[in-house]
Amino acid sequence: MFPWIWLWSPNIHFPWSGAVAQNIDPDVLFNGISPSAGDADIERRAFHIASYGRQLGLITEVLLHAVDPASIDPQRAASSLERLKRIRDEIEWLKTDDGALSPDALLGHLARLRTENPAEFARVLRIANG
């Protein structure tokens, strides 16, 4: 026997039910960075060196060892500190790379300088205008 109500069966989705799709691609995060806040390309490349979670994990281990040496093995804390220094050096190198001197990056740096240090911004303008 074929149930007649099956032909009418409504498809109802209440909040937080049904198919939910979420884009967890990190590029979505980087595309939202305004030029005055930083260079999205450098942030993207730095993320590929070490994710934010990896960096925070290393910082946490070093900090916990500094506050309470008994909380984390000293070798582990020293290893985390060395890894953190290598990550910092690689990211600093990214910032000095020729690719970081794109017009958008320079405009972002100037916009940040204008809001954070107006006197220095005025000096840069004087130098640029000759």
Going from N- to C-terminal start, the domains of the chain cover 36-128
CA–CA separation, 89 and 94 (whole Å): 9
Cα–Cα dist 81/17, whole Å: 44
Task: List the chain pLDDT tens, one digit each, 130 residues.
Answer: 556 666 666 667 677 776 666 666 666 666 666 666 677 778 888 888 888 899 999 999 999 999 999 999 999 999 999 999 999 988 888 777 655 566 766 777 788 788 888 998 999 899 888 7
Q: How far apart are CA 16 and CA 34, in angstroms?
A: 31
